[in-house]
Amino acid sequence: MIDRSDFLARFGGVFEHSPFIAERALDAGAVSEPLTAAGVHAALADAFRAASHAEQLGVLRAHPDLAGKLAVAGELTEDSRKEQAGAGLDRLTPAEHARFTALNTSYTEKFGFPFIIAVKGLGKDDILAAFETRIGNSAEVEFETAKNQVERIALLRLNALLPGD
């Protein structure tokens, strides 16, 4: 039997600052033992997809800007800090930081949530290229793209916490 408090403590932050995803997956009976990255991800992703549009938007908005003010102030979650550092976003030149800041502002003004991308395996140039491409998307396409990236980030986080299948 999965202990609720242990499960929520361990997986409540997999979807950035959105523990309700883990709560709903567990409450729906979608999580079973043995816990694997793929199994827990499927349950959490189903709960995320079943959430209302407003709730999904809230999950997107819970993500920090890439190389943004939370990063500069050292206020990212540990997962986000490691992910951004792994992509070199903690070592930007002043010009690169200015470019990220300008793109973050434009993107958020256009879509109403921060640019989200699973940065594992990407460098700052890859991220900038994706940023510059995706900012041209329609609101509907970008909302779906951002949700897919959130699910990818969740899977990467779960792969670090649990064995595969």
DSSP class of residue 36 equals -
Q: Is residue 160 part of a domain?
A: no
Final residue of a structural domain among 57, 74, 95: 57
Q: Is residue 118 part of a domain?
A: yes
At 44-96, the pLDDT tens digits run: 999 999 999 999 999 999 987 776 664 555 555 777 777 777 778 778 888 98
CA-CA distance, 162 to 37, in Å (whole number)? 5
The dihedral over CA atoms of 134, 109, 22, 46, expressed in degrees to the nearest 10, equals -50
Q: Which CATH number do you get for residue 125?
A: 1.10.3330.10
| 44 closest CA partner among 16, 28, 21 | 21
At 31-49, the pLDDT tens digits run: 999 999 999 999 999 999 9
Q: Is residue 162 part of a domain?
A: no
Per-residue pLDDT, 71: 54
Residues 15-41, mean pLDDT to the nearest whole number? 95
How does residue 28 score in pLDDT terms, banded at 50, 70 and 90?
very high
Q: Do both 47 and 9 map to the same domain?
A: yes
| 63 flagged as catalytic | yes
Q: Do both 97 and 50 map to the same domain?
A: no
Q: Do both 73 and 110 map to the same domain?
A: yes
Does residue 159 sit in helix, strand or coil? helix
Q: Is residue 19 part of a domain?
A: yes
Exactly one of 17, 53, 63, 97 is catalytic; name it: 63
